[in-house]
Structure 1
């Protein structure tokens, strides 16, 4: 999409774009799987999942009227979202539960937009969300990661052809849907070996006086449900 007037840009964002061909849809799914499954690629692509994870914590904190102080993203793909408010209650529970739920739910929302043909709208929505996260980033590495991710999304949405936008949108959504499951499996593996005593699941267990494994299972089921529903939308478009 080349530089245009505001009205033309608005028409493009709110308009309906054609879906890529079947082979491209399947190819983007395969590439997304390669970005998530092998350890060497996951070490880098997991940074994108961390943005969504910590962004989920931040959004939940704001929506539950907690005070959001900032977000930090680290080079080891971990992250930290700091908010203040009641150390217990629904607001704290929702904030803690939003992290692992955010990537698959974002993927599901993206699949829904794609099913309606709103591919450009999806890309712009991602850019807006990344700008909102960037405002709350409190370290240089985190800012660089968000800027690069947002810059790629903006460049594709502004300069990419309809075919390029479509392929990129499908790839991004497949990635979010597939990456909603692996972090949960990694979390439970760490917990099984005595690691991550302060994980989101363990914090939720203490907050709600329920087994942490219950929350791990819930995160896993959310990821699987979003993957199943999102894949159906993507493959039947």
Structure 2
């Protein structure tokens, strides 16, 4: 019983405030990954996991039947669901993909604002395990298992300082990394290389031009980035503004 209580306290307890320098450095690290070619090529797999997870969750919430998720080595992905090919459920499912990384990052920033670092990591593990049962290809299984193992290992064995650095870097990366794919999407659309993109499927369903959907993705993700950054840096700014 005491062990269960200790585990519960560890999960829900608040950790100490991270050093302001850690918050800033982790943000710079995440920004460097997003802006640098090879690190982005590797890190983008995490964005794809969040993207496809967003499609999957939206499909379930709208009553569609989730059939499977595939993650590919080129950082693309595919989520298949069964149900009406038109209507609000399909629109919401398509809309969720490009928004998911940024919105997950915003939710993570809110949790970190309460210093619930361990809780954030364990929720991430739970979501990854839930997603694992729907993966339908080998690369996808390996990606989810490796990512889950890393997050679980940090949450269980790492020091509070390492947990904080890992969690803040991850949340910054989702917030910043959620913006770049929207620009990449429009670049590929302009070249005619992505005719079946989420934005173009939404355009077909709603008769609203695909460019409008791309703009909506970008606007929401930028708002999430600004709001998330405010949550993450708020304690720093409030401390700096205190007299003396």
TM range (shorter): over 0.9
Q: Tell me the equivalent position of 1:161.
A: 159
- After superposition, give the CA deviation of every residue in 1:16-57 in whole Å (9 maximum; x if it has no partner): 111210111111011111111111111111111000000000
Map 1:105-120 onto structure 2 (within 5 A). Answer: 105-120=103-118
Asked whether the 8 Å contact 1:54–1:99 carries over to 2, the reply is yes
Q: Tell me the equivalent position of 1:29.
A: 27
Gaps of 5+ in 2: 236-244
Q: Tell me the equivalent position of 1:19.
A: 17
Q: Tell me the equivalent position of 1:94.
A: 92
Asked whether the 8 Å contact 1:103–1:180 carries over to 2, the reply is yes
Distance 2:17 2:171 in 1: 13
Gaps of 5+ in 1: none
TM-score by length of 1: 0.97
TM-score by length of 2: 0.94
Q: Tell me the equivalent position of 1:142.
A: 140
- After superposition, give the CA deviation of every residue in 1:60-82 in whole Å (9 maximum; x if it has no partner): 00110100000000000000000
Distance 2:118 2:107 in 1: 14
Q: CA RMSD in A?
A: 0.9
Distance 1:146 1:107 in 2: 18
Q: 1:173 aligns with which of 140, 159, 171?
A: 171
Q: 1:54 aligns with which of 52, 55, 69?
A: 52
Q: Does 1:41 align with 2:39?
A: yes
Aligned to 2:74, the other structure's residue is in SS state coil
Report how far residue 6 of structure 1 moved: 2.2
Q: Tell me the equivalent position of 2:240.
A: none
Q: Tell me the equivalent position of 2:150.
A: 152
Q: 1:71 aligns with which of 69, 73, 76?
A: 69
Distance 1:157 1:10 in 2: 14
Distance 2:39 2:134 in 1: 27
Q: Does 1:233 align with 2:231?
A: yes
- After superposition, give the CA deviation of every residue in 1:121-167 in whole Å (9 maximum; x if it has no partner): 10011000100110100001000001111111101111111111111
Distance 1:40 1:30 in 2: 16
Larger radius of gyration: 2
Distance 1:141 1:182 in 2: 23
Distance 2:188 2:83 in 1: 29
- After superposition, give the CA deviation of every residue in 1:66-118 in whole Å (9 maximum; x if it has no partner): 00000000000000000010000010000000000000000000000011111
Aligned to 1:80, the other structure's residue is in SS state strand
Aligned to 2:14, the other structure's residue is in SS state coil
